[in-house]
Structure formats: C-alpha cells, structure tokens
Structure 1
Amino acid sequence: MAVIRSIVRGVGAYVPSRVVTNAELAERIDTSDEWIVERSGIRQRHIAAKDETTSDLGLAAARQALVRSAIDPVDIDLVICATATPDRTFPSTAVRIQAALGITKGAAFDVQAVCSGFIYAMSIADNFLKAGQSRRALVIGAETFSRILDWEDRSTCVLFGDGAGAVVLEALPQHGDRNDRGILSTRIRSDGRFEDLLYVDGGPGSTGTVGHLRMNGREVFRHAIQKISGVIEETLLQAGYASDEIDLFVPHQANKRILDGIAKKLNVPPERIVMTLDRHGNTSAASIPLALNHAFEHHLLGENKLVLLEAMGGGFTWGAILVRW
C-alpha cells in the first residue's frame, strides 16, 4: 500500500568565519585546552560577528540546502526554524528567512526545544507533509548561543558555539514498507520537572532581559544517556529495525563522553558515528544539521543509507528520528 514519506532532498550549513580556540579562551578565563578537551572533546567553536543574526546564519544554510536540492524557493510551502536564540521576541526567525528567500505561500514559524529543536522541527514537518498540508518543507536549525553565554562561567562558555544547518524535505509516495526512503520513524519527548538543570535565567515574561545559560552538567550527563538511549530504542522498534542495522549515527553534538556512552549502550561502532563536536562545539538546534552537512560533504550519505538522528536539550526535551537517505 502506497504511503507518503518525507524525503530529504538537500542539506546545507553555515558557520561564522570567526573561530575561537580553547587556547584563546584560556587567555580570558581559568581554563586550559587540556581541561576542555578532556571533559567535552571540544577544541574550537565558531562565534557570530556582532552584525550577524540567527536569521543570517539560517538563511545562508537554507540557500545552500535549496541549491543542492534543485528546488526553487518559491516551491517551498513550509519553513520551520528551530532556535532558542531568535533575532527578536517576535516575529519568528522563520518568517524573516521566508521573506529573504522570496517565499510568499504556506506557513513559517519557529520551534523552541533547545538542543532537541531540530528533531522537533523535523518531526513537525514530517507530519505536515504526510497529512498533505504541505508539499515541500525547509527545516532549519540556527543558533547564536554566544549571545546568551556568561563568558565568566568556565563550566558553560567553553561548550557552545554558533552556526546553522538546513534540510529540504519533499512529500513523495513510497511502498509503505521498511525499505522506504525518507523519514521512517520519529519520537519526541519532554519532562518539565528537570527545567532547573539546564535553563536561561531570563526572558521577556520574567526578568525582561535575555539572561544567561545555566547548567548542572553532572545531572544533565546522568539523564542524557538513559533518556536518549530509551527514545532511540522506541524509534527503531516503531520502524522495525535493530541498532546494528544503522549505517550512520548522527547525534546532537553536546559532549564526547555522552556520545561515547550512547554508542556503547547501542553497540554502534565508532566508524558509524558522525562527530563534529571538536570543531563546532555544542551549537544546540544547529548541531545535527551541521553534522548531516559534514556527512554529506564527506560522501557518507549514500542513497538508501539508514541514518539515525537524536538529541536532548533543556526542558528536558529529547527525541530521535530514523531516516533512509
């Protein structure tokens, strides 16, 4: 029986030109390259220029994804931008990107699920496409996390960076079996009881300020492996696959120890894991599409490859997606 699947038609990415190394951070705060690498696996990160906004980053990534997809922007009827660092409180960053691309039909909106944002946005787009409400979607993860960091807090400021990634999805008929291309399974979860473990201490409705990121790293680490492993198992079960059938594992780039722990629990060998953490740091909602772009440019995303995406972010939010390229 034929079904509609969301097929990935193109990927793109953009990172700001300014690179900040661990050595440069060590000149400002009490830290060292060795300390940062040992605890996170990060060696450098990209930081947006003062005149670069989140929509600027997202627009650059979107344009590259559209060119690679060979789909004209005017044929896009859904734009979703996952971000926790929007240009403005409103309107959404997505409508600014929509306008810059010359798209005048369909809908555009932001999704805020922090580091899980791209997973949430892909899941939402997939449901729009499967329901027939949209035909082609542009899904973007874009962040300027450098704007919400406390640069005196060495436990957080060394971990994050800025960047953007994007994918173009198109609704196309498939056979309706486990060999279909496109998004095969999605799972998203949240549990607000853990809000105070990873949050920003400001907001227009509370302090009237942007605020700074705050994190209890030890507790986040403890929850991450358990929650992510669980939702991955659900996602695979729904689609009828086992972890040893995954061709490529593209996780949220948060911390190398977390990634190693999840891979070990799922028995995913290191050569199947896409790792960009050392170059980009944690770019929140942008990290998965940035890693996807890396995989594309290094010829790891061949046709029919089974690709698993996963993330966990503040809230807590978490989720996973299984897609056949």
Structure 2
Amino acid sequence: MNCKITGTGSYIPNVITRNADFDKHEFYNLDGSNFPYDNETTIRKFKAITGIEERRYLDNNLNTSDIAVIAAQKAIESANIDPESLDYIIIAHNYGDVPAGSVQSDTVPSLATRVKSHLRIKNPKCVAYDVLFGCPGWIEGMIQAQAFIKAGMAKRCLVIGAEALSRVVDKHDRDSMIFSDGAGAAILEAGDDESGILAHESATFSFQEAEYIYFGKSNHASAPEDIKYIKMHGRKIYEFALVNVPKAMKECLDNSGHSINDLKKIFIHQANEKMDEAIINRFYKLYKTTPPEKVMPMTIHELGNSSVATVPTLFDLVLRGEIADQELKKGDIVMFASVGAGMNINAITYQV
C-alpha cells in the first residue's frame, strides 16, 4: 500500500509588495545600530542574494486560518472527495492567527479546528490538530499523515501549510523583505498503484542551532521590548543548510531505491534563491554529477518566502501548469525538501 496525493490546492494572496515599496523603510542592525547602506543599495543587494523581486501579503480582513480553508477547499475539489470522509486534518503553521494591526497570536482553538469548522465537517472522528515544525511543517505533516495511513488509523488525510508572516515581521529589519503569506494543501490517501511516498527523512538539530530562528524585539532601539518579531541569523542558517540539507536529501533518495538519474523535480522550500541553488548543487555533487536544467521549480521571485506554504503551493502550481516550462508526468520521481526553525530538516521522495 502506498500513500498518494490525490488532490492539491493553494491560495496566493492578492496584495503585491515590490522591493521598491521598502525604499522608505528605516533599517537597523540587530543591535539597533544604523544599517551600513542606503536603501537603494540594500534593496539591490537583497535582490541579488535572495532572488526576491516581490512578495504577497494578506488582505487585512483575512487570517492564516482563512486562507488555509481556501487552499483546503481547492484540494478537496481537486480530489473529488466528500470532506466528511477525512480522518485527519493537519495544519502546519508557526504563528497562528494574527489579525491585521494586532501584536497577539491567536491559537485557541487550534487553526486545524477552525479549518474543520469552516469546512462544515460534522464527523467528530475527523481529528484536527496543528503542527509547529518551522518551515518544514507541511512536509512533516505529510510524513505524519502517511504514518496514520500505514498504521491503519486513517484512509484519507488533509495536510495544509499556511502562514501570514507579514503580520510578524519587523519593518526595521532588512530580513522583513524576505517573508510573505500563502497557503497550500494536499489530500493524502491510501493507494494501490506505484505512485505515492517512497521514502522520507526528518531531523531536528537543536544542540547549538535552536536559536538560529527566534522571536525577538525590533531592531529599532526605541521600539517596545515586549513586542516580538520573527528574527534569524541568516549566515548561520545558510552555512547549516548547505552542510545538512543535501545529506538528508541523499539519504531520502537512497532509501527510496531510486538513483539520482531518476529524479525529475525537486520541490525545495523557497527560502533564498542562492541558498536553494547551492543546496541543489551540493546534493548532486554527492553523486558526483551536476543538476539538470529545470530540476528545481522556483516561485520565490514573485511570491517570496511563505514558510510552510512554499512547498505545497509550488507543487500545486506546477501540477496546474501555472509555472512556465515546468510540468510533471505520471510516474515521475520527485522530492520535497525543507529546512527551517528548530533547526528542522526533512525530505520526501515521491512518485507522481
């Protein structure tokens, strides 16, 4: 028995924020000192490093759970299933619902409970819960859903990755330009053909790495200290990812029984274009080869980094033919991979 994706959906927010929109921001270093470059230089360097030209933010009337519902509805429609038949709803996020203009996260009831309620599912045996696993949360939710199905505890699961990072960024931190909002969802079911999850790998590095991404005060020295924002040590994350992510990807592919030549696409967390390219190059170097063209679809240029939503959104857009020069065929071997707060890493080898 394999566990296969039978439907996908995503939600791309409507508000487009371009790099030029940050021209009037006042950027400071983590210690509150003045940033060493003018904004024009800062924006130019940012684009060269990350590849991000624009990102998407939620409308003020929407929350993370709202866009999770929209992505879920599309996945349910794509799979052509009755939502009452779902055994689990697993939603990966990191900051809960943060209403526009608020500084407080709302996670009670859980976002998964809210999604189930908005989907109007009556079945009490459809269990809904949240996963907090950093940016790799959606992939980890898929791994958990597979475990439930393999153990005979479920036949059909809905796994969602949704985040509204625009609600928790510090406008005085240059890294605020990285983050965006979005949601992606997939239906995972038991299947009897060759398609499905072939192997997976997960790891948490916390001995020295736990605080690489954290919640901290604004870079502006006079800002209230009791209001926290997403913060990260970018250089440490970059070096960590380049060493550890390719190893996890290799172990995941090797355990699938397929070779590097079988791999058609890699759906990697859209964190930073240069970092993702370096990870892929190191991954292929472990097999003493180089990555083929178009093996790594990218959305970061237009959509930014929406954390847990990047991988399921990217996969859905490729399946729907909405990314130029990218397509999937039945039987293709692909990989999902991510790295993020924790520091957590995971990967799935999957046959379409």
TM-score when scaled to structure 2? Answer: 0.85
Contact 1:244 1:268 in 2 (8 A): no
How many angstroms does 1:74 deviate by? 1.3
The 1-side partners of 2:240 and 2:16 are apart by 31
The 2-side partners of 1:159 and 1:245 are apart by 33
The residue that corresponds to 1:253 in the other structure is: 270
The residue that corresponds to 1:316 in the other structure is: 343
Aligned with residue 126 of structure 1, among 146, 153, 165: 146
1:198 aligns with 2:224: no
Structure number with the higher helix fraction is 1
Pairing 1:256-267 to 2, within 5 Å after superposition: 256-265=273-282, 266=284, 267=290
Pairing 1:154-173 to 2, within 5 Å after superposition: 154=174, 156-173=175-192
Q: CA 1:73/1:209 → structure 2, altered by over 3 Å: closer, same or farther?
A: farther
SS state of the match for residue 320, structure 1? strand
The residue that corresponds to 1:117 in the other structure is: 137
Q: CA 1:58/1:234 → structure 2, altered by over 3 Å: closer, same or farther?
A: same
How many angstroms does 1:75 deviate by? 1.4
Which letter does structure 2 place at the counterpart of 1:213? I
1:277 aligns with 2:300: yes
Contact 1:106 1:134 in 2 (8 A): no
How many angstroms does 1:182 deviate by? 0.4
The residue that corresponds to 1:24 in the other structure is: 21
Please say which of residues 236-245 and 224-233 is displaced more in the overlay. Answer: 236-245
Please say which of residues 161-170 and 72-81 is displaced more in the overlay. Answer: 72-81
Contact 1:13 1:293 in 2 (8 A): yes
Structure 2: gaps (5+ residues): 27-37, 98-105, 218-224, 285-289
The 2-side partners of 1:292 and 1:49 are apart by 24
Post-superposition CA distance 1:168-206 (Å, at most 9, x none): 1111234xxxxx21011111110112122111138xxxx
1:230 aligns with 2:230: no
The 1-side partners of 2:159 and 2:107 are apart by 20
Contact 1:119 1:188 in 2 (8 A): no
SS state of the match for residue 272, structure 1? coil
Please say which of residues 88-97 and 273-282 is displaced more in the overlay. Answer: 88-97
Which letter does structure 2 place at the counterpart of 1:97? V
The residue that corresponds to 1:183 in the other structure is: 197
The residue that corresponds to 2:30 in the other structure is: none
The 1-side partners of 2:80 and 2:50 are apart by 38
RMSD, aligned α-carbons: 1.7
The residue that corresponds to 1:205 in the other structure is: none
TM-score when scaled to structure 1? Answer: 0.92
How many angstroms does 1:210 deviate by? 6.5
The 1-side partners of 2:336 and 2:226 are apart by 33
The 1-side partners of 2:153 and 2:227 are apart by 35
The 1-side partners of 2:339 and 2:261 are apart by 22
The 2-side partners of 1:165 and 1:210 are apart by 29
How many angstroms does 1:296 deviate by? 0.9
Please say which of residues 192-201 and 73-82 is displaced more in the overlay. Answer: 192-201
1:295 aligns with 2:315: no
Please say which of residues 118-127 and 103-112 is displaced more in the overlay. Answer: 103-112
How many angstroms does 1:226 deviate by? 1.4
The 2-side partners of 1:49 and 1:296 are apart by 26
Which letter does structure 2 place at the counterpart of 1:190? T
